[in-house]
Structure 1
Amino acid sequence: MRFPQIQISTTDIQMDYTITKPFQRIQQRRAELNISQPAATVEINTTNAKLDINMDQMWRDLGSKPVGELIKEYAQRGRQEMLKGMSRRMGEGRQIMMSAGKGQGRATIQNISKQNHGPERPGPYNIKFIPSIGSVKVNITPGTTDINIERNAPKVDVTVNKPQIDFTYGKVNSKMIVRPDVQIDVIG
């Protein structure tokens, strides 16, 4: 006896795919950067130094004095010499008056003449430094310098640009070329 047989045959599906790839482009524009540095403010205040040189004593030592001082000095010296001369003449007159009538006559006047015209001895000799030490007086007032610096911070302006993004989605298109199929046959 023969048994019937089942014969199964299949046909696979066949597909055709068309793929469009996705596309992405990103562009980032540079940021706009603006930096400025204001100059620092510098203020300098100075007072000048002062130098005072007083040479009055030096000029006096050298014999050169201001006119007003010379006039006063010569007037004082003249007054003293005048007073000295007056007192000398009064003393000589008294001397003549006291010796008058005592038989001395000419001898008194001769003695007075010898007193007035005798040789004068020069003063003591010594070395004198002209001008004297310390006769020039120097006074220095130092100057000052004040420096004020005011720094200015830099100014930074930044503008950030957003990125530009272009994006296209990808696609998949499919088309069935062969449909799947199952055939079952019974033989026998």
Structure 2
Amino acid sequence: MNIPKLQIESTKAQIGLNIQKPVQEIQQPKANLDLQQPAAILTINTTKSKLTIDSHAARESMDYKSSISRTKEIAQKSLQESLDGIAIMAQEGQQLVRIENGGNPIAEQAKLSGRQPYSSLNIKFIPQAGSVKVNFAPAQVDIDVKPQKVINNSTINRPIHNYTTGKVNVEMLQYPSLKIDWLV
């Protein structure tokens, strides 16, 4: 027995895509820099230091005396020696006045006046310690600094942006079909 058959033929649809990609261009130009830094204002005030050295006493201790000091010293020494001489003469005169008390004052006075006085050895450091007077007043420094602000005249440059959109074209390469047939 022959049974009729159903025969179906189908073809698939085919779509074709034509794609044009998008193009994007971005450029970033560098910024224009214009920076200036003015110098700070600097003011310095100083007072000079002062050093005073007084070596008058040290010079005199080393026997480097001025004519005024030397004259005063000689005058003082002369006065003292003359007073000492007058005292000795007065004492000798008193001894001679009392010659009746016994002894031999003339011989004793001759012995004393003919003898050299003993000189003593002294060690003397010259100049004497502390004889030089030193005064020092240090200098003073006042510093004033005034900083200046930065001058910024920089400019930015916007980015250059070019964009071309992409396109998609769709076309039907093959349409779908369905064919139904009976076979007997």
Query: Scaled by the length of structure 2, what TM-score is found?
Result: 0.53
Q: Which residue of 1 aligns with 2:57?
A: 57
Q: Which residue of 1 aligns with 2:168?
A: 172
Q: Summarize deviations over 1:113-153 as a string: whole Å, max 9, x none.
A: x77x9425325423141526326324252635647484858
Q: Which residue of 1 aligns with 2:103?
A: none
Q: Which residue of 2 aligns with 1:26?
A: 26
Show structure 2 runs of 5+ residues with no match: 98-105
* Aligned 8 A contact 2:30 2:157 in 1: yes
Equivalent-residue separation in structure 1 for 2:139 and 2:30 (angstroms): 52
Equivalent-residue separation in structure 2 for 1:64 and 1:187 (angstroms): 158
Equivalent-residue separation in structure 1 for 2:19 and 2:38 (angstroms): 60
Summarize the alignment of residues 11-160 of structure 1 with structure 2, pairs less than 5 Å apart: 12-32=12-32, 41=42, 43=44, 45=46, 47-48=48-49, 50=51, 52=53, 54-78=54-78, 118-119=113-114, 121-131=116-126, 133-134=128-129, 136-141=131-136, 143-144=138-139, 146=141, 148=143, 150=145, 152=147, 155=150, 157=152, 159-160=155-156
The one-letter amino acid paired with 2:132 is: K
The Cα of 1:187 is off from its aligned counterpart by 8.6
The Cα of 1:171 is off from its aligned counterpart by 0.7
What RMSD, in angstroms, separates the aligned Cα atoms of the two structures? 5.0
The Cα of 1:59 is off from its aligned counterpart by 2.8
Equivalent-residue separation in structure 1 for 2:143 and 2:26 (angstroms): 52
The Cα of 1:12 is off from its aligned counterpart by 4.8
* Other structure's SS at 2:117 match: coil
* Other structure's SS at 2:17 match: strand
* Aligned 8 A contact 2:44 2:142 in 1: yes
* Other structure's SS at 1:25 match: strand
* Aligned 8 A contact 2:35 2:150 in 1: yes
Range with greater deviation from structure 2 (123-132 or 8-17): 8-17
* Aligned 8 A contact 1:33 1:159 in 2: yes
Range with greater deviation from structure 2 (26-35 or 148-157): 148-157
* Aligned 8 A contact 1:8 1:184 in 2: yes
The Cα of 1:60 is off from its aligned counterpart by 2.3
Equivalent-residue separation in structure 1 for 2:182 and 2:126 (angstroms): 157
Equivalent-residue separation in structure 1 for 2:49 and 2:28 (angstroms): 61
Equivalent-residue separation in structure 2 for 1:132 and 1:17 (angstroms): 118
* Aligned 8 A contact 1:39 1:151 in 2: no
* Aligned 8 A contact 1:13 1:179 in 2: yes
